[in-house]
């Protein structure tokens, strides 16, 4: 079986690495803080001191890191993945980062004979634990096929969308749609509430027609319950909107809606609500409109 | 069987009146232009010269009219429904109008012993023809129960959401969600296209997760096909957003997203695209971003 190196054992990475161990892969891990690696070594993982050392002893290296600069330094930096990689290795980045960074990493690794796949995930920590993540993959078709069995150990709905960066583009599109649909639901439910109509009945009525969405179903219910346990944290969604808007600026693409919802998210962060679920957008509308749900 | 009077035989009203005839109700119709009434008299409907005359010979009067002022004048104006109505009559308004107008009409009719229901529909002309409209009803519970068999002859998903005006509030909420979800999908697909990623693959990938919506499914496909045959015309959606924003202003409710999408709709109307489907929003993004789909 292919030897897997896993870098970044956060809320998403740790359960992903664990699922690879469960699937029988030999896994070597690396993380900035040591405590998490000890948890996984107890379950059979090896540890390496640097990303470069991970790459030296792996056929496939997976990273799951917070943001673009983290990926850039772990791959291209001193004692990074690139430095330790041998030709024929596959690099899979499960982080959500800028498409341009994914392309830059792809090109740098390609020169050394390493295939890179950008493979951002969605489905949250529960999806990571259950191995049911959606994975949107960019990169070469042949590399995708080689990596597929490994991806199937951590996710379920796995789609190869296009060349290097296409996975990140798709994830950005996902974050646009999710954020704007949350806004749609928040405005509608606040409109109902402020008009004196039961928002729960409005949600139920709307689910039967063209207004139907998973966001109306799931996040709409969270809004009605005032239950903002994440789910997906506003902090992280806000970070992803940075990628959306930065990429939009590079493309000279006017993203009216995405820009506006990011402003509203900033208001929520300013109020210290970054650790709440992204459905907590409704609290901003509540506050502004002087209504409450819960 | 209850005698039904039907006023307003437009693209929605005519098939609704026809379905009532088919269900065996005696129907008397009235329309500003005569041609349409002749079509229905050939199918067994009677005709009356004024809304008041309709009311005089009906147990239930239904209107399906373009906008709030039309309803107000047909019901409260000279020779209107109110003038001709007897105590015990039911008035059902299937138009999409301002909640406040619905409440005003309800109160005026109540004084004469007439029960009013605001019952805006969604599902388009095809839903009207097939008798599968969604109907969001506001008004007294007892009146709703009495009207239900009649509503079941024209629609399928029939929900009593609350007191007078609640049907219109729900319809407004529906139009908020639909418009903002269309914007969400348009921004995401344009983002994909401009990034060089196949928007059809992005749509398919997003349908598997939290970004799932009927709009992504149906209107997303229309955008990819460049097929803007209505569906639901931008002109009409824009009119409904007027109701949303006007009501928002009366309630001092800040509707950032709804206000913005209405501006974008105005740009489309300025370009003479009011007769296209509301999914034609994508053409504005295409134009601004310099990309094309079809």
Of A42, A13, A161, A168, which is closest to residue A101 (Cα–Cα)? A168
Give the distance from residue A61's alpha carbon to the nearest chain B alpha carbon, in angstroms.
24
In the predicted model, what is the mean pLDDT of residues A48-57? 97
How many CB atoms sit inside 10 A of residue A50's CB? 18
**B172, B168, B240, B54 alpha-carbon torsion, rounded to 10°:** 160
In tens, the pLDDT along B97-153 reads 999 999 999 999 999 999 999 999 998 888 999 999 999 999 999 999 999 999 999
Q: Which of B134, B201, B260 shows the shortest C-beta gap to A162?
A: B201
Give the mean pLDDT of chain B: 96
The answer to whether A205 contacts B248, with C-beta atoms less than 8 Å apart, is no
- B205 neighbourhood in chain A, CB within 8 Å: 134, 136, 157, 159, 161, 170, 174
For B176-198, b where at least 16 C-beta lie within 10 A, e where not — what string? Answer: bbbbbbbbbbbbbbbbbbbbebb
**C-alpha B224 chain-centroid distance:** 26
Provide the shortest C-alpha distance from residue A248 to chain B (in Å).
Answer: 7
Helix axes A214-225, A166-194, angle to 10 degrees: 50
Average pLDDT over residues B192-209: 96
Residue to test with chain B: of A184, A216, A267, most B Cβ within 10 A: A184
pLDDT at B239: 97
Which residues of B fall within a CB distance of 8 Å from A285?
254
Tell me the C-alpha distance between A121 and A167, whole Å: 9
Summarize the confidence of residues B196-218 as an average pLDDT: 96
Cβ-defined contact of B260 to A261 (cutoff 8 Å): no
pLDDT above 60: residue A294: no
Whether the pLDDT of residue B294 is over 80: the answer is: no
Note whether B21 contacts A: Cβ–Cβ < 8 A.
no
Residues 6 or more apart in contact with residue B293 via CB below 8 angstroms: B189, B193, B199, B223, B224, B225, B226, B282, B286
Q: Is the pTM of this model over 0.90?
A: yes
> Is residue B220 helix, strand or coil?
helix
A75 bridge partner residues: none
Strands (E), A41-132: 46-47, 60-63, 90-93, 115-118, 121-122
Candidates B181, B124, B166, B206; CA nearest to A216 is B181
**The CATH number of the domain covering residues in B4-163:** 3.40.50.720
Q: Is the pLDDT of residue B256 over 60?
A: yes
Nearest CA in chain B to A178: B211
Reported as a single tens digit per residue, the pLDDT across B1-23 is 999 999 999 999 999 999 999 99
Structure tokens at B186: 């348009």
Which chain B residue is nearest to residue A121, measuring alpha carbons? B209
The residues of A that are catalytic are 171
List all residues of chain B from 150 to 179 with a beta carbon under 8 Å from chain A: 157, 159, 161-163, 165-166, 169-170, 172-174, 176-179
* Residue from A118, A124, A195 to probe the interface with B (highest B Cβ count within 10 Å): A195
Distance to chain B for A30, nearest Cα, Å: 30
Tens digit of each residue's pLDDT (9 = 90 or more) over A192-217: 999 999 999 999 999 988 999 999 99
Query: Which residues of chain A form CATH 3.40.50.720?
Result: 4-163
A contacts of B206 (beta carbons < 8 Å): 170, 173-174, 177
Give dist(CA A99, CA A169) in Å, integer: 6
Chain B residues with beta carbon closer than 8 angstroms to that of A261? 257
What pLDDT, on the 0 to 100 scale, is given for residue B46? Answer: 97
Reduced to 3 states, what is the DSSP secondary structure of residue A274? Answer: coil
pLDDT at B124: 85
- Output the pLDDT for position A81: 98
Instruction: Establish if A134 touches chain B: CB-CB under 8 angstroms.
Output: yes
Q: What confidence score (pLDDT) does residue A165 get? A: 98
Read off the pLDDT of residues B31-57 as tens digits, 9 standing for 90 and up.
988 888 999 999 999 999 999 999 999
| CB atoms B161 and A253 under 8 Å | no
Please tell me which of the candidates A174, A189, A197 has its beta carbon nearest to residue B209: A174
Q: Which residues of chain B are in CATH 1.10.1040.10 domains? A: 169-289
Q: Within A155-198, where are the H helices? A: 166-194
Q: Is the pLDDT of residue B250 over 70?
A: yes
Give the gap in angstroms from C-alpha A249 to the nearest C-alpha of chain B.
Answer: 11
Compute the distance between CA of residue A84 and CA of residue A71 in angstroms, rounded to an integer: 15
Query: Residue A288: is its pLDDT beyond 70?
Result: yes
CATH class as words, domain A169-289 = mainly alpha
Collapsing DSSP to helix, strand or coil, B7 comes out as strand
Write out the two tokens for A103.
């392309």
Residue A265: what pLDDT? Answer: 98
Whether B223 and B276 have beta carbons less than 8 Å apart is answered as no
pLDDT value, residue B33: 86
Confidence of residue A34 (pLDDT cuts 50, 70, 90): confident
A293 has a pLDDT exceeding 80: no
Distances (CA, A) of B181 to A184, B88, B122, B154, B185: 7, 42, 16, 27, 6
Cα of B254 to nearest chain A Cα, Å:
7
Q: What is the mean pLDDT of chain A?
A: 96
Q: How far is B250 from chain A (nearest CA, A)?
A: 10
pLDDT, residue A236, reads 94
Q: Do B201 and A161 touch (CB under 8 A)?
A: yes
Counting one residue from A and one from B, how many pairs have CB atoms under 8 Å apart? Answer: 243
Cβ of A187 under 8 Å from any chain B Cβ?
A: yes
Catalytic residue among B171, B193, B233, B239: B171
pLDDT at A21: 98
List of chain B residues whose C-beta atoms are within 8 Å of the C-beta of residue A184: 176-177, 179-181, 184, 257
B53 inside 8 A of chain A by CB: no
Q: Please give the Cα distance from B111 to B87 (Å, whole number).
A: 9
Terminal C-alpha separation, chain A: 52
pLDDT of residue B293: 65
Tokens linked to A287: 């506050």
Taking residues B227-246, report their average pLDDT.
96
List of chain A residues whose C-beta atoms are within 8 Å of the C-beta of residue B185: 177
Residue window 80-119, chain B: list those with CB within 8 Å of chain A.
99
CA–CA gap between residue A162 and residue A113 (Å, rounded): 20
ipTM over 0.85: yes
CA distance A57 to chain B (A): 33
Q: How confident is the model over A119-129, as a mean pLDDT?
A: 92
Please, what is the angle between helix B199-207 and helix B166-194, to 10°?
130
Q: CA-to-CA distance for A173 and A46, rounded, in angstroms?
A: 36
Rounded mean pLDDT, A54-66: 98
Chain A residues touching B122 at Cβ < 8 A: 209-210
pLDDT of residue B183: 98
3-state secondary structure of A177: helix
| Contact (Cβ atoms closer than 8 angstroms) between residue B61 and residue B7 | yes
In this structure, the number of other CB atoms found within 10 A of the CB of residue B199 comes to 24
Q: Please report the beta strands in chain A, taking only residues with DSSP state E, as ranges in sequence order.
A: 4-7, 27-30, 46-47, 60-63, 90-93, 115-118, 121-122, 133-138, 155-162
């Amino acid at each position: 079986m292919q030897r897997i190196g896993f870098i970044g054992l956060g809320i998403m990475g740790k359960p992903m690495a664990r699922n690879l161990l469960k699937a029988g892969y030999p896994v070597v891990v690396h993380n900035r803080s040591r405590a998490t690696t000890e948890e996984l070594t107890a379950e059979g993982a090896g540890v390496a001191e640097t990303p470069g050392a991970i790459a030296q002893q792996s056929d496939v290296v997976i990273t799951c890191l917070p943001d673009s600069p983290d990926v850039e330094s772990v791959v291209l930096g001193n004692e990074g993945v690139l430095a330790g990689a041998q030709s024929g290795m596959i690099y899979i980045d499960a982080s959500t980062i800028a498409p341009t960074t994914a392309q830059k990493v792809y090109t740098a690794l390609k020169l050394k004979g390493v295939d890179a796949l950008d493979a951002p995930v969605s489905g949250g920590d529960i999806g990571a634990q259950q191995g049911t993540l959606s994975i949107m993959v960019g990169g070469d078709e042949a590399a995708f096929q080689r990596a597929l069995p490994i991806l199937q150990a951590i996710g379920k709905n796995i789609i190869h969308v296009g060349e290097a960066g296409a996975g990140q583009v798709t994830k950005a599109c996902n974050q646009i749609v999710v954020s704007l649909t949350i806004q749609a639901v928040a405005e509608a439910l606040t409109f109902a509430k402020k008009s004196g109509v039961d928002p729960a009945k409005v949600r139920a009525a709307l689910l039967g027609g063209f207004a139907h969405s998973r966001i109306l179903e799931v996040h709409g219910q969270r809004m009605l319950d005032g239950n903002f346990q994440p789910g997906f944290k506003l902090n992280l969604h806000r970070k992803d909107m940075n990628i959306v808007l930065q990429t939009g600026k590079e493309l000279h693409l006017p993203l009216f809606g995405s820009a506006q919802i990011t402003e509203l998210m900033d208001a929520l962060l300013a109020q210290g609500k970054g650790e709440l679920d992204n459905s907590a957008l409704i609290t901003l509308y509540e506050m502004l409109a002087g209504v409450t749900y819960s």
